């Protein structure tokens, strides 16, 4: 009997291909089928991403990062509910796009996993998603002043930064994107952009790879801080931010150079 390593498990157990749970077609109580085994280096990278975001001050006790399953676009990988700085490869679980876990084994899921599932569903180009409450970004979700790209590393900001106000569709809530309807509404506001702010809550950064999504989350926070400084320094006058053309040109460079930051940040967290 051929044995496959479960993509979302600690590695202590194996299951056979023939014993896979039935597909989740039509919903019901059956568990989703796995997208297949995932290389240990992928799980390590996702755990590293979580720790990098903590190390870089983007997440604290809260926030999370996910990536699309490398062999199945209908699945994604994400840690069990845990503070990001504590995540290890053994904590990574696999979900379908309804955010049902393939094999939870009693482990808890993040309430806001629907942010990830619905963005992966609506944006086939997105391969990784970061959700954070990084502090300098939050004011930009509260006021009318739009976030603009202060420097080349934050070039993606020049494409525009939509703000999701959960109140628009759902009235008074606990502010959390805790179900599929709220995830769909958030993904709709993100539209084709790279980041979206969430009023009185935080933000989401996306990317075509895990390193780029992490890069964008880190530089969204830094860009917010720099915009405060520029606004103060300029006495509220005009800010000579990157325009859309400059942003598009600089983002191309960032997409290829994000790996340098990734290598450095990964080293810092011991991966
Ligand atoms: Mn949140």
Q: Tell me, in angstroms, the distance from the centre of ligand 1 to residue 235's CA.
A: 32
What tokens were used for 142? Answer: 């509260």
74 within some domain: yes
Q: Tell me, in angstroms, the distance from the centre of ligand 1 to residue 200's CA.
A: 10
Q: Which positions ≥6 away from 260 have C-beta within 8 Å?
A: none
Q: Is the pLDDT of residue 11 over 90?
A: no
Arithmetic mean of pLDDT, 57-61: 97
- The string of pLDDT tens digits covering residues 126-149 is 999 999 999 999 999 999 999 999
232 within some domain: yes
Q: Is the pLDDT of residue 24 over 80?
A: no
- The string of pLDDT tens digits covering residues 74-100 is 999 999 999 999 999 999 999 999 999
Query: Mind telling me the catalytic residues?
Result: 112
Better pLDDT: 190 or 8: 190
What pLDDT was estimated at residue 236? 87
CA distance 241 to 229: 13
Q: Tell me, in angstroms, the distance from the centre of ligand 1 to residue 106's CA.
A: 23
Q: Is the pLDDT of residue 231 over 50?
A: yes
Range of the domain at 141: 39-268
2 within some domain: no
Arithmetic mean of pLDDT, 108-120: 98
Q: Is the pLDDT of residue 72 over 50?
A: yes
Q: Tell me, in angstroms, the distance from the centre of ligand 1 to residue 131's CA.
A: 7
Q: Output the CA–CA distances (angstroms, integers) from residue 63 to 29, 57, 151, 156, in the order listed.
A: 29, 11, 25, 21
Q: Tell me, in angstroms, the distance from the centre of ligand 1 to residue 187's CA.
A: 14
Q: Tell me, in angstroms, the distance from the centre of ligand 1 to residue 117's CA.
A: 14
Share of the chain above pLDDT 70, in %: 89
Band of residue 30 on the pLDDT scale cut at 50, 70, 90: confident
Better pLDDT: 139 or 23: 139
Arithmetic mean of pLDDT, 174-196: 98
Question: What pTM did the predictor assign?
Answer: 0.90
What tokens were used for 13? Answer: 């157990």
214 within some domain: yes
Arithmetic mean of pLDDT, 241-252: 98
What tokens were used for 141? Answer: 């979700």
Q: Is the pLDDT of residue 53 over 70?
A: yes
What pLDDT was estimated at residue 29? 63
169 within some domain: yes
Q: Tell me, in angstroms, the distance from the centre of ligand 1 to residue 166's CA.
A: 12
Arithmetic mean of pLDDT, 63-73: 98
Q: Is the pLDDT of residue 18 over 90?
A: no
10 within some domain: no
210 within some domain: yes
Q: Output the CA–CA distances (angstroms, integers) from residue 30 to 33, 114, 236, in the order listed.
A: 9, 19, 57
CA distance 89 to 125: 25
**Total domain count for the chain?**
1
* CATH (domain of 77): 3.40.225.10
What pLDDT was estimated at residue 62? 98
Q: Is the pLDDT of residue 28 over 80?
A: no
19 within some domain: no
Q: Are 115 and 194 in contact (CB under 8 A)?
A: no
The mean pLDDT value of the chain amounts to 91
3-state secondary structure of 34: coil
Arithmetic mean of pLDDT, 196-214: 98
3-state secondary structure of 45: helix
């Amino acid at each position: 009997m051929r044995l496959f390593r479960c993509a979302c498990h600690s590695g202590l157990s194996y299951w056979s291909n023939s014993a896979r749970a039935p597909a989740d077609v039509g919903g019901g109580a059956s568990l989703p089928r796995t997208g297949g085994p995932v290389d240990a280096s992928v799980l390590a990278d996702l755990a590293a991403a979580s720790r990098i975001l903590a190390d870089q001050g983007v997440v604290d006790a809260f926030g999370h990062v996910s990536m699309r399953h490398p062999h199945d676009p209908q699945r994604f990988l994400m840690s069990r509910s845990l503070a990001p700085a504590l995540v290890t490869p053994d904590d990574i679980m696999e979900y379908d796009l309804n955010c049902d876990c393939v094999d939870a084994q009693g482990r808890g899921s993040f309430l806001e996993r629907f942010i990830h599932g619905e963005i992966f569903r609506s944006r086939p180009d997105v391969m990784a998603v970061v959700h954070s409450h990084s502090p300098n970004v939050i004011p930009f979700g509260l006021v009318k002043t739009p976030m603009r790209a202060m420097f080349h590393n934050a070039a993606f900001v020049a494409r525009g930064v939509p703000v999701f106000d959960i109140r628009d569709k759902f009235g008074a809530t606990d502010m959390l994107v805790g179900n599929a309807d709220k995830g769909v509404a958030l993904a709709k506001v993100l539209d084709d952009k790279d980041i979206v702010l969430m009023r009185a809550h935080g933000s989401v950064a996306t990317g075509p790879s895990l390193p780029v999504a992490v890069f964008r989350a880190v530089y969204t926070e830094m860009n917010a801080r720099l915009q405060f400084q520029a606004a103060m320094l300029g006495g509220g006058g005009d800010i000579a931010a990157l325009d859309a053309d400059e942003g598009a040109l600089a983002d191309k460079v960032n997409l290829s150079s994000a790996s340098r930051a990734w290598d450095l940040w990964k080293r810092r967290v011991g991966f």
